[in-house]
């Protein structure tokens, strides 16, 4: 960070924009320009119809050169709109772009005070004063350029992981595809047919699997798990534990070892409906097509080879019990999380009798039973007597859409999966009577409604209302379903030979591990959260990490593949460029003040601060930092300087905003992403509210240190508002929980000091909640009216940090 010479005179140019009549209509812009000229450090101040126009920008550039300006303030619209424009103009004139500051006198002033020209003009003066005060303390900054390693790590080898890996590998990036199971393929490999086209699932997946297996740019790491990830965007170092297969590349998958093996277990791939041996391949199309020994099951535990039957049976000497686990260290630039999902365990719904009644099966078991390569050779048989049932009932929403049992959300694939399954039964055994018990049928996708219609035409009976109970006939293991048909408001009692529970999708049980390794966040449902639900749907909040498939939310194959290609494209952008620039709003630790207490590291949502107590060193990993400023607010020793949002700069803004009539004002700290944008939205929507609020922008509400609030009170401010994103929606993972904690602490303190707690307000306002922002300000007007001189004096004296 280069600092200007202390002797350097600060020369600020202020440009007040009319924005046609958008600003000039309710703010006297000439008056503002005249006022600005009187503010310390301002050497030139002008008003202009459109400062953002080429001519307006030219004016700034000329003045920088002619008048030797070293700071520029533009009073116009929201920095969220035109800050980049003016920053570029400054840069073109040779001024570091971090020496530019904006006063938002349109969205936050002229548009929201359309009919109060005088008051609006006074407010605009304050806003300019605040911007100039901050500008005087601005420092030039240099942005960090981080190289990006042109290799990717894909975690999870289901269809989403395979697609991402193939797309990246075809773009010529090296890809490590890590899968914890012995074969790639994931859930899609287990499914018999896909909806709505009724394609054979493995037939369309197997070619992709073998493409991934033999692609020169893909290194397949099956039976492997990611155990550690260090580093940051562009420069991750991942540790992958490659567990031994005990079978070498020499294996030709002839299967001669299998019949001689004496140890058996249920095959996980067949949901336990078939048996496998200790040496096995999960399914015929497995990639890599190398057998594996389940060493926990095998007689050869530990290092003693007691049984050598498979070794003897193998012509190619491919079995090697001496294989050891390996830990690989991979250097990658991007990481794609495609870890997939688990399924709901229906045994917890006691009324459906799963695990008590043999003929109640789960939908994943159905897929294996109807599959020609499955344990029953494609015959849909009842487990009780191995006969094909003449009536089958499907029960929807098992574990989904219920707050009482299972999960609140819709698993999104089960309706169509059931319709497909019903049609499959009709195709093989047309005489079978099929009932589908549902809550709603959600056939929302391309070709879905058509398939639903076809099922109805083929006499699949749809009954709205889930059974309340299933009763088993002990003699023949038939099942009686009792419930209410909610369309006819009639009770039904229906006897069937078999029940298929359409089980929902749930987050992986071990998804916490990946969450911790990559500092991801989860939604309340437990799936990984994207950086933005609409505009960055495959980016994780952590830079350089992307999401694909069911790890992000329940979705079908097509959506998984779409998302996988999107994730590959997003990761590809980073790697193609080869470098990434970090905005210079990251913290700098002043080791003279730092006590190496570690509070900053704990407050960082990105693990971007490392504290070494032995070496007495606190270091910021700039590339991993997102610039929220939570660490700066947390540091009790003022040892952290948040670049471009320094304590001094924020104090200067507070002081400037409270220079006049502080006791009638609201000092508002608004986070850049939600609350500030919400205030912008109130402006765009021309929502009128009182003129006494002065907004100070921080990147995150987590930047707001208690001392800022105290400073505002000590300056005599009537009310302080701290506003951020809703809890759970924070743009910095969870930094706004720290805001909440700090404000609650301040309230307690105010209580202790006998202050009116209402004078400090905390609000969660999204970028769309302009109305909420406006009504919050209106509501606070009432509080201001109750704040008398005595109360103000009390806070001036009692709160630390004054002056």
Residue 632's SS3 state is helix
513 sits near another protein (criterion: CB under 8 A)? no
Smallest distance from another protein to CB 358, Å:
8
Cα 764 to Cα 457, 534, 679, 689, 737: the distances in Å are 51, 20, 12, 18, 11
342 sits near another protein (criterion: CB under 8 A)? yes
Q: Which stretch in 227-235, 375-383, 469-477, 489-497 sits in contact with another protein by CB under 8 A?
A: 375-383
Q: Are 489 and 306 in contact (CB under 8 A)?
A: no
Of 448, 367, 368, nearest to 413 (Cα)?
448
262 sits near another protein (criterion: CB under 8 A)? yes
Residues 295-334, interacting with another protein (CB under 8 A): 299-301, 304, 306-309
84 sits near another protein (criterion: CB under 8 A)? no
Q: What's the CA angle centered on 271, arms 265 and 276, to 5 degrees?
A: 30
User: In the complex with another protein, which residue's Cβ is closer, 157 or 690?
Assistant: 157
Smallest distance from another protein to CB 536, Å:
30
266 sits near another protein (criterion: CB under 8 A)? yes
690 sits near another protein (criterion: CB under 8 A)? no
Q: Are 609 and 662 in contact (CB under 8 A)?
A: no
144 sits near another protein (criterion: CB under 8 A)? no
Residue 291's SS3 state is coil
Convert residues 583-622 into a mask of x (bound to another protein by CB under 8 A) and - (unbound). Answer: ----------------------------------------
Smallest distance from another protein to CB 189, Å:
14
User: In the complex with another protein, which residue's Cβ is closer, 270 or 710?
Assistant: 270
Query: Where does 140-264 have alpha helices with state H?
Result: 159-170, 186-190, 201-214
Q: How many CB atoms lie within 10 A of CB 390?
A: 12
Q: Total residues contacting another protein (rule CB under 8 A)? A: 36
Smallest distance from another protein to CB 374, Å:
9
User: In the complex with another protein, which residue's Cβ is closer, 301 or 748?
Assistant: 301
272 sits near another protein (criterion: CB under 8 A)? yes
Smallest distance from another protein to CB 277, Å:
9
801 sits near another protein (criterion: CB under 8 A)? no
411 sits near another protein (criterion: CB under 8 A)? no
Smallest distance from another protein to CB 209, Å:
21
User: In the complex with another protein, which residue's Cβ is closer, 258 or 621?
Assistant: 258
User: In the complex with another protein, which residue's Cβ is closer, 386 or 535?
Assistant: 386
Smallest distance from another protein to CB 276, Å:
9
Q: Which residue is associated with the tokens 């307006």?
A: 56
Q: E strands of 391-512, at which residues?
A: 391-398, 433-438, 461-464, 467-472, 479-485, 490-496, 498-503, 505-507
For the chain, the 3-state helix, strand and coil shares in percent, each to the nearest 5, are 35, 25, 45
User: In the complex with another protein, which residue's Cβ is closer, 374 or 690?
Assistant: 374
Smallest distance from another protein to CB 267, Å:
7
Burial class (CB in 10 A: 0-12, 13-18, 19+), 315: exposed
Smallest distance from another protein to CB 576, Å:
38
Smallest distance from another protein to CB 425, Å:
18
Convert residues 379-408 into a mask of x (bound to another protein by CB under 8 A) and - (unbound). Answer: --x-x--x----------------------
Smallest distance from another protein to CB 305, Å:
8
The H or E element that residue 242 is part of is strand 235-242
Convert residues 448-467 into a mask of x (bound to another protein by CB under 8 A) and - (unbound). Answer: --------------------
Q: Which stretch in 246-254, 257-265, 451-459, 745-753 sits in contact with another protein by CB under 8 A?
A: 257-265
40 sits near another protein (criterion: CB under 8 A)? no
Cα 453 to Cα 196, 249, 436, 447: the distances in Å are 12, 49, 14, 10
Cα 172 to Cα 151, 165, 369, 757: the distances in Å are 9, 11, 40, 60
264 sits near another protein (criterion: CB under 8 A)? yes
User: In the complex with another protein, which residue's Cβ is closer, 294 or 342?
Assistant: 342
User: In the complex with another protein, which residue's Cβ is closer, 275 or 486?
Assistant: 275
> Residue 800: which residues within 8 A CB-CB, separation 6 or more?
707, 710, 714
Q: Which residue is associated with the tokens 């004016």?
A: 59
Smallest distance from another protein to CB 291, Å:
17
509 sits near another protein (criterion: CB under 8 A)? yes
User: In the complex with another protein, which residue's Cβ is closer, 305 or 487?
Assistant: 305
- Rounded to 10 degrees, the C-alpha dihedral 525/530/531/537 comes to -140
Q: Which stretch in 152-160, 268-276, 592-600, 691-699 sits in contact with another protein by CB under 8 A?
A: 268-276
Cis peptide preceding 288, ω within 30 of 0: yes
Q: Which residue is associated with the tokens 């949502």?
A: 605
Q: Which of 63, 472, 506, 663 binds another protein (CB under 8 A)?
A: 506
- Rounded to 10 degrees, the C-alpha dihedral 582/728/700/602 comes to -80
Tell me, rounded to whole angstroms, the distance of Cα 632 from its chain centroid. 24
User: In the complex with another protein, which residue's Cβ is closer, 344 or 645?
Assistant: 344
364 sits near another protein (criterion: CB under 8 A)? yes
Of 165, 126, 160, nearest to 35 (Cα)?
126
579 sits near another protein (criterion: CB under 8 A)? no
Q: E strands of 339-450, at which residues?
A: 341-343, 360-362, 391-398, 433-438
Smallest distance from another protein to CB 577, Å:
39
User: In the complex with another protein, which residue's Cβ is closer, 143 or 345?
Assistant: 345
Distance, CA of 288 to CA of 628 (rounded, Å): 44
Smallest distance from another protein to CB 369, Å:
9
Q: Which stretch in 17-25, 113-121, 273-281, 402-410 sits in contact with another protein by CB under 8 A?
A: 273-281
263 sits near another protein (criterion: CB under 8 A)? yes
Q: Which of 144, 200, 204, 274 binds another protein (CB under 8 A)?
A: 274
180 sits near another protein (criterion: CB under 8 A)? no
Q: Which stretch in 146-154, 281-289, 340-348, 793-801 sits in contact with another protein by CB under 8 A?
A: 340-348
Distance, CA of 50 to CA of 17 (rounded, Å): 6
345 sits near another protein (criterion: CB under 8 A)? yes
Using the CB atoms, write b or e for 73-96: b if 16+ within 10 Å: bbbbbbbbbbbebbbebbeebebb
β-pairing, 467-472 vs 479-485, is antiparallel
Of 466, 458, 529, nearest to 494 (Cα)?
466
347 sits near another protein (criterion: CB under 8 A)? yes
Cα 200 to Cα 163, 189, 394, 409, 588: the distances in Å are 18, 10, 21, 28, 57
Q: Which stretch in 258-266, 407-415, 477-485, 768-776 sits in contact with another protein by CB under 8 A?
A: 258-266
Say which DSSP state 703 is in.
G
Distance, CA of 486 to CA of 480 (rounded, Å): 18
User: In the complex with another protein, which residue's Cβ is closer, 65 or 301?
Assistant: 301
Q: Are 596 and 355 in contact (CB under 8 A)?
A: no
Q: Which of 86, 195, 280, 344 binds another protein (CB under 8 A)?
A: 344
Q: Which of 9, 268, 331, 449 binds another protein (CB under 8 A)?
A: 268
Of 80, 81, 82, nearest to 72 (Cα)?
82
Question: Which residues lie near another protein (CB under 8 A)?
Answer: 262-264, 266-268, 270-275, 299-301, 304, 306-309, 342-345, 347, 355, 358, 364-365, 375-376, 381, 383, 386, 506, 509
């Amino acid at each position: 960070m280069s600092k200007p010479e202390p002797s350097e005179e600060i020369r600020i140019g202020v440009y007040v924009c009319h924005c046609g009549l958008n600003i000039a209509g309710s703010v006297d812009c000439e008056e503002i320009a005249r006022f600005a000229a009187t503010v310390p450090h301002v050497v030139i101040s002008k008003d202009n119809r459109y400062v953002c126009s080429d001519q307006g920008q030219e004016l700034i550039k000329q003045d920088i050169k002619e008048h030797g300006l070293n700071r520029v303030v533009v009073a116009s619209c929201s920095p969220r709109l035109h800050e980049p424009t003016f920053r570029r103009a400054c840069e073109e004139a040779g001024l570091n772009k971090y020496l530019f500051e904006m006063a938002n006198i349109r969205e936050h002033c002229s548009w929201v005070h359309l009919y109060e020209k005088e008051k609006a003009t006074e407010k605009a003066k304050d806003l300019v004063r605040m911007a100039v005060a901050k500008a005087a303390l601005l420092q030039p900054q240099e942005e960090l350029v981080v190289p990006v390693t042109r290799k990717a790590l894909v975690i999870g080898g289901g269809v989403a992981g395979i697609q991402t890996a193939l797309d990246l590998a075809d773009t010529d990036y090296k890809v490590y595809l890590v899968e914890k199971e012995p074969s790639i393929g994931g859930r899609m490999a287990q499914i018999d047919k896909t909806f709505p086209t009724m394609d054979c699932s493995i037939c369309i997946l197997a070619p992709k699997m073998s493409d991934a297996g033999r692609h020169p740019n893909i290194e397949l790491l099956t039976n492997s798990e990611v155990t550690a990830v260090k580093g940051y965007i562009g420069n991750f170092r991942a540790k992958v534990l490659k567990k031994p297969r005990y079978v070498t590349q020499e294996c030709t998958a002839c299967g001669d070892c299998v019949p001689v093996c004496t140890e058996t277990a249920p095959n996980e791939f067949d949901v336990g409906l078939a048996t496998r041996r200790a040496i096995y391949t999960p399914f015929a199309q497995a990639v890599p097509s190398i057998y594996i020994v389940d060493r926990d099951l095998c007689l050869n535990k530990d290092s003693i080879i007691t049984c050598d039957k498979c070794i003897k049976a193998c012509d190619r000497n491919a079995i090697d019990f001496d294989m050891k686990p390996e830990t690989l260290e991979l250097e990658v630039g991007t990481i794609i999380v495609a870890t997939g999902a688990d399924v709901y365990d229906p045994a917890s719904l006691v009324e459906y009798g799963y695990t008590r009644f043999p003929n109640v099966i789960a939908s994943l078991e159905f897929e294996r039973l109807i599959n020609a390569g499955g344990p029953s050779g494609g015959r849909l048989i009842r487990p009780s007597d191995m006969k094909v049932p003449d009536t089958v009932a499907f029960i929807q929403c098992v574990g989904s859409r219920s707050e009482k049992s299972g999960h609140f959300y819709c698993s999104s694939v089960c309706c169509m999966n059931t319709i497909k399954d019903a049609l499959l039964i009709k195709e093989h055994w047309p005489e079978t009577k099929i009932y589908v018990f549902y809550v709603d049928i959600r056939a929302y996708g391309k070709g879905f409604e058509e398939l639903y219609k076809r099922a109805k035409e083929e006499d699949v009976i749809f009954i709205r209302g889930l059974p309340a109970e299933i009763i088993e006939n002990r003699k023949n293991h038939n099942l009686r379903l009792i419930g209410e048909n909610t369309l006819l408001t009639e009770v039904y009692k229906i006897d069937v030979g078999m029940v298929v529970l359409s089980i929902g999708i749930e987050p992986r049980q071990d998804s916490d591990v990946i969450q911790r390794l990559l500092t991801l966040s989860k939604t309340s449902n437990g799936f990984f959260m994207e950086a933005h639900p609409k505009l960055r749907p495959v980016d994780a909040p952590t830079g350089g990490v992307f999401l694909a498939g069911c790890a992000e939310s329940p979705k079908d194959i097509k959506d998984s593949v779409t998302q996988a290609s999107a994730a590959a494209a997003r990761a590809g952008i980073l790697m193609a460029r080869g470098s990434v620039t970090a905005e210079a709003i990251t913290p700098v630790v002043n080791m003279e003040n730092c006590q190496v207490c570690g509070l900053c590291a704990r407050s960082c949502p990105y693990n971007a601060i490392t504290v070494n107590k032995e070496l007495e060193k606190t270091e910021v990993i700039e590339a991993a930092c997102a610039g929220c400023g939570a660490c700066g607010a947390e540091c009790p020793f003022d040892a952290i300087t948040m670049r471009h949002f320094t304590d001094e700069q924020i104090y200067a803004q507070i002081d400037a905003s409270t220079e006049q009539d502080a006791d009638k004002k609201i000092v508002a700290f608004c986070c850049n992403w939600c609350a500030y944008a919400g205030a912008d939205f109130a402006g765009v929507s021309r929502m009128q509210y009182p003129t006494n609020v002065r907004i100070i922008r921080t990147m995150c509400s987590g930047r707001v240190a208690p001392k800022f609030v105290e400073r505002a009170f000590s300056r005599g401010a009537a009310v302080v508002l701290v506003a951020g994103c809703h809890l759970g929606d924070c743009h910095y993972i969870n930094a706004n929980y720290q805001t909440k904690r700090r404000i609650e602490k301040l309230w307690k303190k105010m209580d202790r000091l006998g202050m009116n707690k209402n004078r400090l307000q905390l609000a969660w306002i999204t970028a769309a909640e302009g109305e909420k922002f406006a009504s919050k300000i209106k509501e606070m007007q009432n509080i201001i009216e109750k704040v008398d001189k005595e109360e103000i004096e009390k806070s001036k004296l009692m709160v630390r940090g004054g002056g």
